[in-house]
Structure 1
Amino acid sequence: MDSVNWDAPAQLHERDDAGSDMFVEFRTLKTGALADLIAHVQTLPSEQKARLVIDATGVGSLNIHDITALAARPDFPASQTDA
C-alpha cells in the first residue's frame, strides 16, 4: 500500500468469539478516521487486538497484522483525538 488516506472514514469491529468457524459475528466498537482508529487499537491489550478488524473507505478490511504494519509506517500521523 503506497499512499494511505489516514482521514478515511472507518469503523473498528470486534469479532464475537461465540460464533462458529463458518459464521462469525462482529460488533462495531468505534467509528472515526482511519489514523485515529489505528492509534486506538495500538493502546489495547494484545489479547483483545487479535479479535479486531478495521473497515475503511477506499482501503478495505484490515486485520491486526495490517493495522500494526500501518502504525509502524513513518508517515503514520499522531492521533488527533483522544483514543
Structure 2
Amino acid sequence: MKVMTCPVNGPRNIAEFQWLGPVRDDEAPEGRALVEHLFFAPNPMGVLREWWRHTPSNTVFIAERHLNTDEILRTYLKGAGTANASGAE
C-alpha cells in the first residue's frame, strides 16, 4: 500500500488523495504563453511540485514528488514552506 502524508491528517492511504496538477507561477500569461499554460504540462525528469487534495478532509496542499522513482519526498501547506514540511512514510 502506498502512503502519502497529509500535512493536516498525517499518513494516509494514497487512494484518499486526488492529484490536482503541477504548481505553476501566479502570473497571468497572455497570447501564446496562455495556450502553453493551459494545454502543455511540464514533464521534467526529477522533482516536481504538485497540488494534491485529501478528499475526506478537503485539504489542499503541495507535494514534492520525484518523477523517476514516484517517491513522495515531502508535503506541506501553501505558505508553510519548509518549516512544517512532512516527509512521506
Report if TM-score (shorter chain) is over 0.5. no
TM-score (norm 1): 0.31
TM-score (norm 2): 0.29
- Looking at CA atoms only, which structure, 1 or 2, has the larger radius of gyration? 2
Instruction: Pick the structure with more helix per residue.
Output: 1
Instruction: Pick the structure with more strand per residue.
Output: 2
